[in-house]
Each structure stands twice: as C-alpha cells, then as structure tokens.
Structure 1
Amino acid sequence: MNRLSLTLSRGIARVTEAALGPYQSAVIRIGFAGTWLLFLLREFPHRQELYGPAGPWGWNLAKELTADNHAFTALLWSDGQLWFECCYTLAILAAAALVLGWRTRTASVLFMVGVLSLQNRSVFIGDGGDNVLHLMAIYLVFTRCGQVWSLDARRAARGAAARARGERAPADRVGPVLWAVLGLALGAATVTGRFDNGWLIQALLWTVWAVLGLWWAVGRREAWRQPRMLLDVIANMLHNGALVVIMAEACLIYATAGWYKVQGSRWQDGTAVYYPLHLDYFSPWPGLADLMSSSGTILMIVAYGTVMVQVAFPFTLFNRRAKNVLLVLMMTEHAVIAVVLGLPFFSLAMITADAVFLPTSFLRRLGDLAARARGRFDRRGGRTVPAPRSPEENTADHVGFTA
C-alpha cells in the first residue's frame, strides 16, 4: 500500500511539476504551423477561388452551412474583399509567428482562429491532412509548445542570464500592448454579435485572454509566489493532458484507417495501391507511377505492409524499439505519398503527427546539430552565438505572454 501511494504521488508530481515533452511539443508546433504556412503561401495566387467571397462556394452558401453546423469562421463576419484579405494575411502572420515561437501563447490562439476561419469557410477544399490540422490547431492552444526552439525561449534565457548577473531584466512592453489590442478586437466582435454561430470559440478566446492577463499580472510581483505556482501547475496539467490527446488522436487515426482497410476487398487482394497511381488527379509524375505499378508483387507488399503497420502501430507504443521502427516506416510512407501522389501537405501533417512519438534523445541531437550548423554560419558572418540551453535551464514559461 505504501509503495502504491509512493508511486501515485510521484506520478502526480511528475504531471504537475513540469510540462513534459518540450521537444516533442516544439516539433509539432513547428510542423503544423509550417505546413499551414506553406499551404497558404502556395495557394496565395488562388486564394480568391478557394476562400474568397466570390469563389465557387459562395458567401451565402457558406453562411447557410455554418448556420446549420455552428462552425466558427471569421471570414463570414463580412463579405467585403478587404476583410477577406486581412483575414488571410493575419492567418499567414500567425502561422509564421508560431513557427518562430514568437509570443507563442498568443500566436497559437491566432493560429487556431486562422485555421478554423479558412477551413470552415470552404469545407469542400482540402484532403485528410486538413482534418488533422484542424484538430491539432485546437490542441496546440493548451500546450506550452515554446519551451525550446523558440524566440520566446531565447528571450527568457537572456532575461535569466541578466538576473544571474545581478542586472534587471528588460520589461516586457510588447506583451501588454498585444494583449490590450486583442482584447479590444475580441470585445468589438462580441458586442457586434459576430459569435452567434461560435459561442464555444468565443468562450475559449475570452478565457485565454483573461488567463494571459492574470499570468502577466501575477508574474510581475515577486510576493505572489503561491498564485504563480498554482498557475504553473494548472498550465502543466493542461499541457500534459493536451499532449496525451494528441498522441491518442494519432493512434486513433492509424487504427481506424488500418481496420477500415482490412475490410476493403481491394486491400485484401493487394490491388488498392494500383488504382490511385492511375488517376490523373493523383499522378503528378506519371512515369514514376507507371514504374511503381509495373510489379504486382511490389504493389501487394506495399498494400499489405501499409495495413499491418497502421493496425500494429498503437500496440507498439509499449516497446520503444518496435515503435521507432514503425515510425520510420510510416514517415517514409508519407514521404513517398507526398512525391508519388502529389499530396505534400497531407504528408507533412501526418509526419508531424508521427513526430510526437520521436525519442527525446534523437530530437535533442537534432537540435544540437542545427545549433552547431547555425553557429558555423554565424561565425562566418562575424557574430558570436550563445551556447544552446537545455529545457531545465529554460525559464520561458515563467515569463508572461511567452512560451
């Protein structure tokens, strides 16, 4: 009984004392935000046809659909061209800010708003990767995904270094201004009744806005140590819970896809891969598709291998080596899909979802390699680069409006 109580107390302490998986959460932050950013930039010349007020899926049709399903989209607040251009530009800026880790808490909320606004505006555009991105954009709001590999972490590390030298860290002026501007915008949208079909998103945005203000106010006063510790515990629990949900979502995607494939006759006879390779829509490289489909044996191996990997993956999480092998296979599969079938953004979204299971040791080595490469580049430019800091040294989450 005492051993059980000790194990339980250690588990609770581990969940509440720290935001687990700092490198994994940074990878999914950069991956999903980068995928969305690349998509928006690639489709920038076609943005009017995809999401514009005069596109094939008209503004009135979208308005009627959201009235039925109560989906949130800021693009339907106005049918003006200027409003559409502002929303699209803000979606690009929010995704770029999240990739860089600049004001990560605020950027994650704006990123979610941009994803929901554009995707819910034209629900018939996109592929399976859009559904993954849609869900993950919501989950990212609850994570502390700027602990490492972010501008917030670098700024917090500089402040900690200044305090260690006995100097006073520079005051954060951008955060309060950004918080006030967003509060005014949210208040204006609420007063004018823009959230009629999205009351849940409205409640979430107001809650996040209030929590950010409270976090900043508590962080300014050294005497308020207990409230700050309580906020840290709540934030850690939300982060760890969201990370578990992201992992469960990835497992659910593969499990359902694998078991549905098992029931399909084309997957049972091994010919399912053949047909997409001969569709014009999924054949950016016809010669490559013909080469792959020239061997029935290869197609059968690919079909059966895909089903087995997807069905088996959730069960391999309890074995590190087996999990890592399947991760490599799945990421390779998605890379092949990106090239052969011409679905780069779907593949990027799925590879990012897989990356949440990557070992911390591998991600740290990857970060060290990137830091050394950047150091060599900066030394050539005559600049001095500080050594990278570990997550234990990183105090970004203790500075308001940051990670």
Structure 2
Amino acid sequence: MTHDLLGRHRAVLPDWLALYYEEPIEITHGEGRHVWDAEGNRYLDFFGGILTTMTAHALPEVTKAVSEQAGRIIHSSTLYLNRPMIELAERIAQLSGIPDARVFFTTSGTEANDTALLLATTYRRSNTILAMRNSYHGRSFSSVGITGNRGWSPTSLSPLQTLYVHGGVRTRGPYAALGDGDFIAACVDDLVDLLGHTRPPAALIAEPIQGVGGFTSPPDGLYAAFREVLHERGILWIADEVQTGWGRTGEHFWGWQAHGQHGPPDIMTFAKGIGNGMSIGGVVARSEIMNCLDSNSISTFGGTQITMAAGLANLTYLLEHDLQGNARRVGGLLIERLRAAAAQVPAVREVRGRGLMIGIEITRPGTDEADPATAAAVLEAARAGGLLIGKGGGHNTSSLRIAPPLSLNVAEAEEGAAILEDALRSIP
C-alpha cells in the first residue's frame, strides 16, 4: 500500500519535494506525543510536523474548537469583521511585547516573512536586507533571496540586495575560538564595518535560534548588541520567531527575549506551533510600521475563522498548562541525557539547544567535516526504533533536529533519549 502511494506521489509531485527515509511512511493518525503509520507502526514523535504540532496530536481542546467553528462558518476573508481573528490578534499583540502592536495574519511562516520584508522595505524605502549566514526564512522568491543556507536556496535571483552577517553559528566561522564576549564584539565590529560599505539597509532579519540551520544560535545578547548599532542608524530589526516562539525555548516565551536588553524587535514574525497543525502565520509590528502601506490589501485565507479558533484554543491551553515551563524542565533533562549519551560517540560534534529545541551535529570523527550520510543513517535507525526526528543544518545537512510537542513528559523524554542513544551507537 505504501509503495503504491509512493509511486503515485512521484508521478504527480515535484522531484524536489523531499521525503524522509529510504522507505517513506504515511502518517495516518496521532494522539498526544505519538503517531501511527499506515502499516500500524507506532512512533514517539520528536519533530511534530516540523515544529508545528506544538502542543499535542489530537488535543481535545483544539479539536473541539475546530469542530464547533466548522459548524458555524469556516471562512469569510478579511473583508468582513471576524471575531476569532480579532480575539487572537489582541492576545498576540499583548504577548508580543511590541508597543502599540498591530497583527496581520497569513497562512505560513514564509508568507509572514514576505510581509515583514514588504513592510520594512516600504517603511525604510530601501531594498537592502541584512540576514544571517546559515539562515532560513521560507521558500518564496523573496524569502529564498534572504536565506543564507545554500541547501535551501535554489536561485541567486532576488528582488532584494542581501548582505550576510556573522554570528548565527557560535561554533563555526572565523570567530568560533573567541569567548562569548569577544565573539559578540567581533560580530558587532564586522556589522559596523559592513554598514560602512553599503547604502542604508531596511532591516536585519534573524532567527534567535536558526531552525533549518540545525538549531544553532549565538551567545545571548548578540542581537541586543546588533540592535544598538541598528537603532542608531534607523535600521529595523525583524525577529523570525516561526520556530522559536510560544515558549519552545523554555527560558523565554519568545526567542528574542534572550537578546532583549534594548527592547523588543520592530517587527516579529510567527507561524508553525500557534495553530497546532492548522495553517497560521503572522506579523506583529509597531503601528507606524504596519500602517506604512499606502495601497489596499487583504488576505483571503489569512485569519480565516477555523484556523483562528484553533489558535485561540491552542494558545489558551499552552498558557494555562505552563507548557513553556514544561519545555524548560523536560527539555533540560532531555538535553543533558543526550549530551551524556553523545559523549561516547565520536561522530557527535555538538549537542546544542535550549528547551525542547535540540540539535545534534554529526561530523566525521575528529574533524569538523559534515557527514550527511551518517546523519541520515541515525535518522533511519531512530525510526526503526520507534522515534521520529528531523534533520537540518548548513554544511550539507548533518544535524539532527529534536523538537517534540511541548507537553512531552519525563517518561517520554527518557524513552526517546534511549532510542536516540541506540541510534547514535549504531554508527559504524
């Protein structure tokens, strides 16, 4: 059955539409932190549909909200008043930390980043964008143009002039050997030097923790130091919270808060987890920035009632059950367990992350050379053991990505860590 479905997939879908595993699986249903495939195999899910099933599979509160809203009205577009959209926007504006915030809903993180770029370039009247090396911001024409990860950038054509800045990867690059303070100072000096050679950019866009890049991050405070330089020149700061938002890092509700000494970003984008599987993305910005467009605009599917109902129910559950605190506690246990296991595996260069956003970088033992074949083998071994994880990273995609639903409990964390330990030890 699965083999037949794979043949049909290949017959009608693009060759570049990636599938995991040598024998791809069809996931048919899920509950809590587990999913089942078409063959009846049960898996502990440590990737959540690419960090999108943030709370739990088949969460009753979200399922109920979607069902009840579907029985009333599913969609009307933004041309009409929309109570669920307004209610969710009010809550996100308050949680964002951005003063006098306005919220615009989209259907994805890619579209959210597109909107942020439109706002920033219009507000600043510049099409120059600063972005981080090893970054990823989506798959549209404009977001590919600011992606600093060669594996996810299929074209060099772009409507934007993009300049790439050091700092998103702590343990690679020319400043890797420096201490944290000197690392930040060197990156700031590089930024200042870069700004002296170009026309004034519109904005810096940065993921507080790089998602597709393999869950890499700078020392806390780097973007605060950048912000000081940018603010002096009127350059905006866009925080891409598509993967880091909603408490996933445990220590903070938003990733930018690890760098928030000089206040919140000017623009923040979000998506993925807020809908717990429903298609929600969005942008939060100060009103003067959000309102800078001087032509009409709507969103046909952004903010549609059924997705907003899901988002409201999911956000309520997340806050009432302190899933941020759970990510901090259980994630801390999980990362220490994985570090202990990886210490015995020469191919593991680094275990990094915070909360329930953990990366394991695989290299050829004794070197910094990426080893994507071995990373893929660990992915396969984990699946054979009943665990689903992701992969990513620059340098030829040699990092494993671990991002379970935020309701993960200690017993499940221990179970997943044991499977991963066996998978890592299976490396020849």
Q: Same fold (TM over 0.5)?
A: no
Q: Which has the higher helix share?
A: 1
Query: Comparing both chains, which one has the higher relative contact order based on Cα–Cα distances under 8 Å and sequence gaps of 6 or more?
Result: 1
Q: Which has the higher strand share?
A: 2
TM-score for both structures, normalised by structure 2: 0.22
Higher radius of gyration, 1 or 2: 1
